[in-house]
Structure 1
Amino acid sequence: MQGRRLLITIALLLSALWGGLLGYMHLSGSMSFLDRLEASLTDLRSTVIGARVPPPVTSIVAIDDQTAADNGYPLNRATLARVVAAVSALKPKVIALDLLLVDPGSDEGDAALALALQQTPSVIAAAGVFPKDVQVVGHDANDPLAAIPTASQMLLPLSRFSDIAAVGVVNVATDESGTPRFIPLISRWIERVDASFPLRVASLALGINPAFSPGGLALGDRHLPTDNGQRLPITFYGPRGTIPTFSAVDALAGRLPAKAIEDRIVVIGSTVTAGGDVFPTPFDPVLPGVEVMATAATHLIAGDSIIRDRNVRLLDSLIAVVLPLLLISLLAWRRSAIGYAIIASAAVAWAALNIAAFAHGYWFSAALPIAAALPPVLLFGAAEIWMDRRQAAHFAAQSHLLQRIEAPGLGEWLARDPNFLAKPIRQDAAVIFIDLSGFTGLSEAIGATNVREVLSDFFELVDEEARSHGGAVTSFMGDGAMILFGLPQPADDDATRAAACAVSLCERMRPWLVANPALRGRKTGFKVGAHCGPVVASRLGSGNRQQITATGDTVNVASRLMEVAAARGVELALSAALIKAAGADSVPLRSGRLEGPAQARIRGRSEGIDVWLWQGHLL
C-alpha cells in the first residue's frame, strides 16, 4: 500500500511538471513538434462543425481558366485595367488586387491600370521573403512589434502603382500540412513596417487606422485579439466559392451582378488551374490564395475570426496541468469498469467542450492536452501493471503456501475472494465422503513415516478427482475426506459431477490399495457415501483461525451412507435423491454395477431413505 501511494505521488508530481513544461512552451509558441497533430485535430473540428455562410462583406472576381483562355495568362496590364474599371463602375467599397505588380508592363497598360486604380480606394499586393530557419524572437510586453519576424527581402509593387494604392503583404503562416492558420498582420523589413494585405483592406474599408497593443488589434471601437507575433488566426467558411466568386470574363462583358459588388470589398486574384497559388484547407484541398485573403479580410471587418490569444493559451496551459492530474487521480482512485467509464467520460467531456468552444470562436489546443496527458497516464498505467504483477506473484506465492498448509482447494478460493463465506449461506449442494477402513490398526503396524506417506498419496488422489470433476475438498479428517459440489455457486450439474466423482474415486482407490507397498497384504479397504440437498456453507472458527465447511442434514446423511456401504458389502452408497438429480443414466458403469433403490436405515434418523449401491468389479 505504501509503495502504491508513493507511485501515485510521484506520478502526480511528474505529470504536473510535464504539463507545466509543455504549457510554458505553448505560451511562447515553441511547440512546433505538435503542429501536425494540432493541424489534423483542427481540421477535424472544422469538419465536425461544418461549412457556414460568410457575412455579406466580400466578393471575389477571379482570373479563372475561362479568362486565361480568352485573354491569355498572365493578363496584360491593359486587360487587367479593364477588369478593375468594370468593378469600379459598380461602386465597391474597396478593390483589393491580389497580384504582384513588381515588373513593368507596357507603358499604355501600366498607365491604364494606374488610372483604373485611382477610381476606387485600392490595395495592391506585396510579398516578403523570410529565412528558411525558424526565427527565435523576443517577447516584450511593452513593444507589440518585438515578436515580429523580419523579412530578408520584400517584393514591392512598382512605385507608379504604390503611389496610388495602399500596399499590403500577402504572406500567410501555414502549418506543416500547408494549411494557412494565421495571417501575420504586420511584417518588418530593414526599417520598414508593412501591414498585411487583409489588414490594409479592412482599414481602408472602415476608414480607420489600426492600432496595435500587446496581444490585440484595435480598428476604431473594435478590438480583435491576436496570437503571438500579432498574427490573426483564421478559419474557413467552406470550400472554394463559399465567398461569392465571379469570373473576370463577366466583368469584361459587363455581366457582374451589382448587388454582389456595390459597397463590398472586391478582391481580384488568380484561380487559374495549376497557377500555384492554392492551399489545402479542411473543406477544399486546393483553395485559391485569393479566397484566403478574402476570408481574412472578412474576419477583420465582421469580427468573426477565431480567438487564440494569450488568455486562451494560458487556459490551454492550465488544462495541460490539470487534465493529466485528473486522469491519473481517477485511475489511481478506481481501476474498475466504473472508474474507466469515469475516465472515458472526462476525456469525452473535454473533447466536447473543446469542439463547442471552437464552434463559438475560441481555438483551444487539442494536441497540447493529449501530449500532456497521454505519456503520464500510459507510464502510470504501465507502472501500476508492473506493481500489480509483483503483487500477484506475491499473492500467488502466499496462495500456494496456503494451499500447502490448508486442505487443497480452500486456499484457492480464499485467494480469489477474501470475503468468501464471511456470512453463512444456505444453498443446494452435493456431498461426498470417503474413508479408509481398517486404517487405525494399520497405523500401529507400518509406523508413523509410512502412515504419513500413505495419507499424503491418499489426499493427493482424492484432491485430483475432486478438482477434475469440479468439486472441492472442504476438509481432510484423518484417513477420510469431505468433497463438496456447489461452491461458490450451485450449478445444475452438481449432482451429476458428484456421482461421476464418487464412482471415479472407487475406480482409482482399488488399484491404489493394491499397488501401494505399505498396504500390500494388509486388510485395508475404503467406503464412499454421496448425497445431495440443502446445506449451510460457512466459516467456522475464530477470527485468527477459520475453516470453510458445510453443515446440515444433507452432510450428516452423506457421512452415514459410508456406514450403509460398509454394512451392505459395497464400496459406494448413493442416495436416491442424488441419483434422481443426476439421472441414473449419468452414473458411469464401465467397471462396476449399480443396484437399487433399496431402503436403508440411517443412524441418527428415525426414518430410512432409499439408496443405490455401487460395487466395482474385483481386480
Structure 2
Amino acid sequence: MRRPPPQTLIALLLTAIWGLGLGIVHLRGDIPFIDGAEATLTNLRNTLGGSRKPPDLVTIVAIDDETSRVAGHYPLPRAMLAKIIDAIGALQPKAIALDVLLVDAADEAGDAALEQSLKRTNVVLAAAGIFPESHQQVVVDSKEPLVRVPSALQFLEPQSRFAAVASYGIVNVQTDKTGTPRFVPMLFRNGERIVPSLSLRVFSRATGEQATVISDHVKVGSHSILTDNGYLVPLSFYGPRGTIRTVSASAALNGRLPEEAIRDHIVVVGATVTGGGDVFPTPFDPVLPGVEVISTSITHLLAGDGLVRDQGVRFIDLYFAVGLPLLVVGLLSWRRNTIGLAMVLGVILVWAAINVAAFKHGIWLSAALPIAATAPPALISGATQLWLGRRQAKRFAEQSERLQHIQAPGLAEHLARDPGLLATPVHQEAAIVFIDINGFTSLSEAIGPAAVRELLNGFFNLVDEEVTACGGAINSFMGDGAMILFGLPQPKPDDPAKAADCCVRLAARMRRWLGTLPDDVASRIGFKIGAHFGTIVASRLGGGDRQQITATGDTVNVASRLMEVAASNHVEIALSDDLLLAAGTDSMPFKQGRLEGPIETSLRGRTGSLTVWLWRS
C-alpha cells in the first residue's frame, strides 16, 4: 500500500488538532461563534420533524382575551385569581403552577382571598431571576456541580404571605442567539442560595418526591432528569400555540371547566392575553406564549420525551468533531476526482442522516460543531491540493512541451492517447528520409562550439518546420543530420508523396539557409538527402525508464546509404525507384527541378544493386 505523502499526513494531523480543540471546548459549554448556526440548525430539525401530539399530562388554563374582557382589565384582580385557582382545585389536579408573578401587594381583600386559595390547593408559584445579561451564564470549569448553575443577581420572589403558604420556583428560560427558548434550567443560584425552577418544583409536587442534585443530573424519586451543563433541560416543542391543550380561564369563572382536562393533570395557569408580552419565537410559532413554554418543559419532565443533551452526548459530538473532518480530508486527499467528491458527499449525507435521526429520537447531537470542525480543514486542504495540483499540472505541461521538442512531433500526442503504442513491434510500410550536412565536421573544428551550436539550431529549426508542414515525424536528430518518418503511428496511402514533397522542400529551404550564412562558412558545407520507401519494423527501444520510438530494418539502412549516392553524384537528393513509384512518376514536387535516372548503383554494406533516381534543383 502506497504511503501517504507528507502534506497529507500534516493536513490530517492539523485537522485532528482543530476538531479535538473544538470538541474539548464544546464539552465545557457552547461555543459563541457556533451558537447562532446551531440555533438555526436546531430549528430546522424541529421543523423537519413536524408537529406532534403531546402526552395528555398537562393542561393550560389561559388568562386570555376573553378572561380579560370578563374581568374588565388586565392584570386580573387577585380575588379573581383566587376564584380561578379554587375552581381548578375543586377538580383535583395533581398540581397547579401559577405562572404569574405575585411580587407586589394589591388590595388587602384580594390578597387575603388569594392567600386562602393557596392554602387550600397544591399550588406552585412563579418567581423570576434577574441576570446581568440576557444570556444566563453557566460556569463549567468548576468541579463543584452546584457552582455551574445559572447565577442570578437577584430573585423576584412572591410576597412573603404567599410564599409562606405555597412553594415557588424560578420561571426563567434560557434562549439562544435567535431568541428561541432552548433550555429550562432546573436550578438557579444567587450567592450561596440554590432555588429550583418552576418546572422542577411542579414535577416534585406532582410526584410527591424530593429532588436530589447529583453531579451530572437531577433525580426526583426514581426519575432521573438528564441535564446539560449547568443542569439545563433542552426543550423540544410539540407545535404552535394551542398544541398543548389550552382552556380559557373564563371557563373557571363561569363553572365550565372540563373535568377530564383537569383531574389528575398538572394545570399551568398563565397569560396568553394579547399584549401581555410574555411570548417567544419558536420553530412552529413566532409568538408562542411563555405559559406554553413552561408547560412544554413540565411535560418533558413527566413523560421523559424531551431532548437529551448531557455530557455523554457532548462526548459523541467530540467524536464527530474529530472523525468527520478526518474522514472528509482523508477522502479528498485519497481521491482527488469525481469519485472522491462523491464519497465525501456520501459521508456527509450519512452523518446528516444520523444527526437528524438522533434528533428525531430525542438525542440532540450538535450539527454546527462537526460542520465547523470539517469546513475549514476541508476548504484549506482542498485549496492546497488544488494549488499543488495546478503546480504539478504546470510541471507536467512543461515536461510535455519539452518532450514535444525532443520526441518526434505528433508521436507524443499519440502516446498520451495510447500508452501502449508500439509496445509490441509491428511491420508496416513507411517512407524514410535522411538529411545530412556535408563538411560539417571540419567546419566545427574551425569555428568553435558556440558557432557550431548556433549553426545546428538553425538547421534543426528549418528541418522541424518543413517536416511538420509535410505531416512527417522527426525520429531523431543525429549530430548534423536527421531521420524523418512518414507512416507512424499508422501508415497512410499518401506517405510516399508527402516524403517526396518533404525532400524537395528541405532542399529549397537548405539552399536559402545556406545563402544567409557567411561566405567562409557557406563555402565549406553543403547538404545531401536520401529517401526510400519500404517495410520497416516500428517499435519502442530501451528499458523501462527510458524508451524511444524508432524504425529499423533494411528500408532505413537504404535511405541512409542513399545520402552517399547523392553526395557522390553531386546532387541534392537521391531517392529509390520504390519511393518514386509509390509517390507517382508524375509527382509534382520533382517537377520543380531536374530528375535524372534511373541508374543502377550498389550501396555500401549491401549486396546487389538498387535502382536510384537523382534530383537537382
Q: TM-score, normalised by structure 2?
A: 0.77
1:127–1:156 contact (8 Å) kept in structure 2: yes
For the structure 1 residues 441 and 421, does the alpha-carbon distance in structure 2 shift closer, same or farther, using more than 3 Å as the test? Answer: closer
1:236 aligns to 2:241 (yes or no): no
Quote the residue 1:584 is aligned against. Answer: none
Which residues in structure 2 correspond to 1:278-427 (within 5 Å)?
278-411=279-412, 419-421=419-421, 423-424=423-424
1:137 aligns to 2:139 (yes or no): yes
Deviations 1:245-296 (A, max 9, x none): 1222333333332212221111111112332211111111211111110000
Quote the residue 2:599 is aligned against. Answer: none
Counterpart residue identity of residue 29, structure 1: G
For the structure 1 residues 516 and 289, does the alpha-carbon distance in structure 2 shift closer, same or farther, using more than 3 Å as the test? Answer: same
SS in 2 for 1:568: coil
Measured after TM superposition, the shift of residue 480 of structure 1 is 6.2
Measured after TM superposition, the shift of residue 517 of structure 1 is 5.8
Which residues in structure 2 correspond to 1:598-613 (within 5 Å)?
none
Measured after TM superposition, the shift of residue 43 of structure 1 is 1.2
Counterpart residue identity of residue 49, structure 2: I
For the structure 1 residues 23 and 86, does the alpha-carbon distance in structure 2 shift closer, same or farther, using more than 3 Å as the test? Answer: same
Which of 452, 457, 464 is 1:459 aligned to? 464
For the structure 1 residues 566 and 394, does the alpha-carbon distance in structure 2 shift closer, same or farther, using more than 3 Å as the test? Answer: closer
For the structure 1 residues 234 and 135, does the alpha-carbon distance in structure 2 shift closer, same or farther, using more than 3 Å as the test? Answer: closer
Deviations 1:457-482 (A, max 9, x none): 2322433675xxxx987778966644
Distance 1:181 1:158 in 2: 29
Quote the residue 2:153 is aligned against. Answer: 152
Distance 2:7 2:486 in 1: 44
Measured after TM superposition, the shift of residue 185 of structure 1 is 0.5
SS in 2 for 1:145: helix
Deviations 1:557-588 (A, max 9, x none): xx998523655222489xxxxxxxxxxxxxxx
Measured after TM superposition, the shift of residue 297 of structure 1 is 0.2
1:29 aligns to 2:36 (yes or no): no
1:50 aligns to 2:50 (yes or no): yes
Quote the residue 2:587 is aligned against. Answer: 570
For the structure 1 residues 422 and 569, does the alpha-carbon distance in structure 2 shift closer, same or farther, using more than 3 Å as the test? Answer: closer
Q: What number of residue pairs does the alignment pair up? A: 552
SS in 1 for 2:147: coil
Distance 2:473 2:366 in 1: 59
Question: In terms of mean alpha carbon deviation, does 289-298 or 106-115 score higher?
Answer: 106-115
1:58–1:266 contact (8 Å) kept in structure 2: yes
Distance 1:30 1:16 in 2: 20
Counterpart residue identity of residue 463, structure 2: F
SS in 1 for 2:60: strand
For the structure 1 residues 445 and 12, does the alpha-carbon distance in structure 2 shift closer, same or farther, using more than 3 Å as the test? Answer: closer
Distance 1:517 1:25 in 2: 80
1:216–1:224 contact (8 Å) kept in structure 2: yes
1:473–1:483 contact (8 Å) kept in structure 2: no
SS in 2 for 1:404: helix
1:526–1:571 contact (8 Å) kept in structure 2: no
Quote the residue 2:611 is aligned against. Answer: none
Which residues in structure 2 correspond to 1:181-200 (within 5 Å)?
181-200=182-201
Counterpart residue identity of residue 212, structure 1: V
Deviations 1:345-370 (A, max 9, x none): 11211111111111111111111111
Question: Where in structure 2 are there 5+ consecutive unaligned residues?
Answer: 445-451, 518-524, 557-575, 591-617
SS in 2 for 1:146: helix
Q: Could you tell me the percent identity over the aligned residues?
A: 47
Deviations 1:134-155 (A, max 9, x none): 74735454x4312123211111
Quote the residue 1:542 is aligned against. Answer: 543
For the structure 1 residues 482 and 440, does the alpha-carbon distance in structure 2 shift closer, same or farther, using more than 3 Å as the test? Answer: closer
Quote the residue 1:180 is aligned against. Answer: 181
Question: In terms of mean alpha carbon deviation, does 301-310 or 2-11 score higher?
Answer: 2-11
1:266 aligns to 2:267 (yes or no): yes
For the structure 1 residues 453 and 54, does the alpha-carbon distance in structure 2 shift closer, same or farther, using more than 3 Å as the test? Answer: same
Counterpart residue identity of residue 568, structure 1: T
Measured after TM superposition, the shift of residue 380 of structure 1 is 2.0
Distance 1:499 1:64 in 2: 103
1:421–1:537 contact (8 Å) kept in structure 2: no
1:23–1:320 contact (8 Å) kept in structure 2: yes
Question: Where in structure 1 are there 5+ consecutive unaligned residues?
Answer: 488-493, 574-619
Measured after TM superposition, the shift of residue 420 of structure 1 is 4.7
1:64–1:271 contact (8 Å) kept in structure 2: yes
Counterpart residue identity of residue 42, structure 1: T
SS in 2 for 1:218: strand
Distance 2:504 2:375 in 1: 60
Counterpart residue identity of residue 131, structure 2: F
For the structure 1 residues 5 and 249, does the alpha-carbon distance in structure 2 shift closer, same or farther, using more than 3 Å as the test? Answer: same
1:539–1:546 contact (8 Å) kept in structure 2: yes
C-alpha RMSD of matched pairs (Å) = 4.3
Distance 2:252 2:495 in 1: 97
Which has the greater radius of gyration? 2
1:474–1:484 contact (8 Å) kept in structure 2: no
Measured after TM superposition, the shift of residue 336 of structure 1 is 2.6
1:19 aligns to 2:19 (yes or no): yes
Distance 1:230 1:194 in 2: 12
For the structure 1 residues 279 and 135, does the alpha-carbon distance in structure 2 shift closer, same or farther, using more than 3 Å as the test? Answer: closer
Measured after TM superposition, the shift of residue 200 of structure 1 is 1.0
Quote the residue 2:10 is aligned against. Answer: 10
Q: TM-score, normalised by structure 1?
A: 0.77
Distance 2:281 2:359 in 1: 20
Measured after TM superposition, the shift of residue 545 of structure 1 is 3.8
2:169–2:198 contact (8 Å) kept in structure 1: yes
